[in-house]
Each structure stands twice: as structure tokens, then as C-alpha cells.
Copies of this chain bind each other. A is one copy, B any other.
Amino acid sequence: VTPAGRERIPVGRDGESSVVWLGTGVLESTEELLVSPSGRFLLFATPAAPAAADSVRRALGKRLLLDRTVDDRESAKTLDAAGAIAAEALAAGVRRDDALVAVGGGVVTDVVGFAAAILLRGVAWNAVPTTTAGMADAAIGGKTGVNHPLGKNLLGAFHPPAAVLADPSVLATLPDRDHRAGLVEALKAVWIGNADLAARAEREIPALRRRDAEALRELLGGAIRVKAAIVADDPRDASRRQLLNFGHTLGHALEAAGGFAALRHGEAVAWGIAAAVEISRRRAGLSADEAGRILAALSAIGPFPPPERDPGRLRPFLAMDKKATARGTAAILLAAIGSPRIDPAVTAEEWLDAAAIMSLS
């Protein structure tokens, strides 16, 4: 693979799979890579990445049945928004062999993907992520959904995009805060699943922060492969896929407690990882050295806004965790970098204790 080339990464299995195309210049090949059984497309794009949307428009031309803007803010990720997207597609005459194209960050790919899942009981869709978090995580793996006042992604569907076009050159114009939050999600994946790449990425944080094309391509490719391997084992999030939730148990609660406004998702996950590292030291045998490496890397990606630490305000949101079952909330811990563990015995109080003391410089 040359820097100008592209990688093809299959994600999922059987009837529920995506092909991820990763590389600088992938958006030059939109016409060849986007998938629609009928050849017709309906575009829903964020206003924040006009160049990416323009690439799709130019490539599809008259095959574009509809061209609409979608609100990319977390507060707009609602069931009503998904219903409105579906209604626009129906009014435009969408048929079950047409395909949607979502161009934007995680909010856009989650909500448009969910609209595709419920439209005519499921039409194909394509994801063109325009954020670091979208390329590393949100557009990969088939989870779509919307928020509910009680928590994130509480309504949704497993409905993988047919194709994901991830072009790191799109990230050049992404606001710095969004890029840094997205790097947290990418690092999370390699800390779970690729110790070698994690060590390299930790050394390259300055290059990653300044959006060096090769450093980004290597980390994103590694993150996508980690996720692809886990999703292939457990597409419906019944067991191993929970590993991807490293940093998310407390992260989701921090994000919700801030009204989805104080912290970006990736920023909340950074704090959630800091807490999970504390608990991993005590319960999973994570070494002081590796714990220190993770906290140092997060600090180098930061600083992040201070999180809510009040146990009384965090507790209700921890109880709403989607992974919670009658047996409790499973915690994802690290025995070592690259060696995650699911520990079903971590109580909400332990998370709250860790939230009180977690620290990133």
C-alpha cells in the first residue's frame, strides 16, 4: 500500500458486512466505491464538510435522487430526526433497492444509518465519515442509532453500511478539538487489540495531532482492523464486542451528566479510560508502566475539559448503561495493553470512586 493508495478492509460477516476503503484520495473514486443495488442514491450530508459532499455530488450526478443537509450536532441525534430523514426519502420516492449516502461525523452516520435501517424495513446505505472519530469508530461495525433523554444510543439497529469511504485528507479542516477527541477513540481500539501499533502510535502523538497523513492512515487502519476482528466474532454485541466499550462505561455517564454538551464523546471516553486504568491496576493486574503510558498518551492528546465527578449526579447515568443486565454492569479492563478483560463484578460505586480520583495532566 502506497501513501496515495487505498486499503480494502472487510468488516463483519455473512449478510451483514461492510467494506471499508481507507486512503488519501479515496473520495476521488466515489463513483466506483459507493454501493446501490438500483444504482440510485439519496445523499444526506453535514454542512461541516462541504468538500466531501461535493465529491459525492460530482461523482453521482443524475443518479442522485435527493440531496439534503443533516444537522450534525449531538442534540439533533433523535428519533424525530431519523423519522424526518426517512420521510424525506419516502417523499422523494425511495425504493427498497436504492441506497442512502451519509456524509458527516458520527451523528450523521448514526442517524442516517438508523433511518436506512427502518426505511421500508431496511435499505442499503453508505458512510462517508468526515471526522477522526467517524473513521476510527462510529462508521465502522454496523451500529446505528439515536439518543434518548435517558442516555446515548438507547434506540437503534444493527445495520452495517455497504461501503465506508474513509479519506484522511478530509480531516485537514476538522476543528482541532474534534480531531483530538477522535484520536482518543482510535487509540482506544489499539490499546484493546494491537499492542505493537499502540506503542508506535503513543510515540507519534505529535504527528497524529498535526494530521500527518501516514501516521493517521496507520493508526486508523489499525483501529478499523481491531474493530473488524471483534465485530466478526460478535456482530450483535452479545459478548466479545463489549471489549470495544473500554472507557465507555463511565464515559457515557460523564457525557450524559454533562448534557452531551460539556464534553465531546471522545473527551468523555478519555476520562473513562483514565478511570478504567485505575480499576485495571487494582483488579486486572495492569502494570504501573503500561498504566502510565496510557495516561501519558491521553494527556498528550489533551487537555480535555474537566468532567463531572459528583457521585450523586453520575450514579443515575451509570445505572442506565445499555450493557447492564440483571447481573450488573460489565467493566472492560486491561490486564495489559492488547489484553482486555470483561469483569462482571465491578460495581457502580467502584466507577464512582475512580471518577473522583482519575487524573490526566
Contact = CB atoms under 8 A, between A and B. Distances in A.
A122 interface: yes
B157 A118 contact: yes
Nearest to A90: B150
A142 to B, nearest CB: 10
Interface string A230-253: 000000110000000000000000
A258 interface: no
A322 interface: yes
Interface string A77-88: 001000100110
Contacts of A156: 118, 120-121
Interface string A150-171: 1101111110000000000000
Interface string A58-90: 000000000000000000000100010011001
Interface in A22-58: 38-40
Nearest to A115: B155
A322 B39 CA distance: 18
B95 A121 contact: no
A326 B95 contact: yes
Contacts of A120: 154-156, 322
A324 interface: yes
A148 B322 contact: no
Specify the main secondary structure of chain A where it touches its partner.
mixed
A4 interface: no
A114 B40 CA distance: 27
A90 B148 contact: yes
B96 A322 contact: yes
A119 interface: yes
Contacts of A158: 121-122
How many chain copies?
Answer: 2
A143 interface: yes
Interface in A323-340: 323-326
Contacts of A150: 90-91
A303 to B, nearest CB: 33
B96 A148 contact: no
B79 A121 contact: no
Interface in A137-192: 143, 145, 148, 150-151, 153-158
Contacts of A323: 96
Contacts of A96: 322-325
A324 B95 contact: yes
Interface string A85-119: 01100110101110000000000000000100111
